[in-house]
Amino acid sequence: DSITGITLLAGFASTVGWPLSGWWEAEWGWRAACLTWAGLHLLVGLPLNASIPRASGLPARPAEQRTPDDAAFDMPAESPPRHTAWVLAYVFAVTWFVSTAMATHLPQLLVASGATLAGAVAIGALVGPAQVAGRLLEFGFLRRLHPLLAARGAALGHPLGVACWLLFGPVAGPVFAVLHGAGNGILTIAKGTLPLVLFGPRGYGRRQGLITAPSRVAQAFAPLVFGACIERWGAGALWISSALGLSAVGALLWLRTGQGR
């Protein structure tokens, strides 16, 4: 519930960001638009991050106060195979690469497919509400399922959206935005819950940091690498992002819902 709540409103970032970027670029040019966002990062984002209170360690409960349920929850009922962490690291890396690439280049891709700039910005703004809808769906219904099942369906959202886009052209842009956004919204939650369910809460922070480290690198390189792909192949770059999404689905199918707790 906490992960869903924290990520819920953040889904509207692209809904606000794309129209603002388009407006600033039209009024002042792309350099001024980039500098404006950089200034907001420094003047708003940096103080907000600095104001986050430092977490303090929770006092250990005395052994005599611990219940059998507490001890059982410390570790998953069945230790996951050794490859589980590597599979999750790969899945998170490729899905974050795709989501960051789309967040950076979606309007450019739509224009390359034949959409107008205004239409591309409008379609890109649909990703935010779709992400929020996906997170609400996870909170209200998918939470009853194993997080691995939800993650598989979510990872399939981008490839399905690409298939619609390539089959029907720019007219299917809103369908792509909704499928991609909803899948990305659910995956944002799965990235926090999957390691917890598969490995248990003991050592969660350290393990999560190790598992998500490759995804941070992929996220950093995504705008440059995918931008080069668009320059080379235009809208055909979607074949690459779709293949990465399908590889994530295949990797998640390698894991079993019986693992963990």
For the chain, give the percent of residues with pLDDT over 90: 38
Identify the pLDDT of residue 71.
45
Single out the residue of 88, 123, 91, 92 nearest to residue 105, CA to CA: 123
CATH architecture of 2-43+83-254: Up-down Bundle (1.20)
What distance in Å separates the CA atoms of residue 221 and residue 104, rounded to the nearest whole number?
11
Query: Tokens 């107008």, residue?
Result: 116
- Selection from 60-74, 84-98, 192-206 with the highest mean pLDDT: 84-98
Identify the pLDDT of residue 205.
84
Identify the pLDDT of residue 113.
82
Give tens-digit pLDDT for 97-150: 999 999 889 888 888 888 888 888 888 888 888 888 887 887 777 677 788 888
Looking at per-residue pLDDT, the higher value among 184 and 128 belongs to 184
At 261, the pLDDT band (50, 70, 90 cuts) reads: very low
Q: What are the residue ranges spanned by the domains of the chain?
A: 2-43+83-254
Q: Is residue 59 pLDDT above 70, yes or no?
A: no
At 259, the pLDDT band (50, 70, 90 cuts) reads: low
The pTM score is 0.76
Separation in Å, CA 155 to CA 19, 45, 96, 195, 208: 27, 29, 11, 16, 19
Q: Is residue 157 pLDDT above 90, yes or no?
A: yes
Give tens-digit pLDDT for 14-37: 677 878 888 888 889 989 999 999
At 249, the pLDDT band (50, 70, 90 cuts) reads: very high
- The secondary structure of 67-104 as a DSSP string is -HHHHHHHS-SSPPPTTHHHHHHHHHHHHHHHHHHHHH
Window from 38-42, 59-63, 247-251 with minimum mean pLDDT = 59-63
Looking at per-residue pLDDT, the higher value among 40 and 71 belongs to 40
What distance in Å separates the CA atoms of residue 93 and residue 107, rounded to the nearest whole number?
23
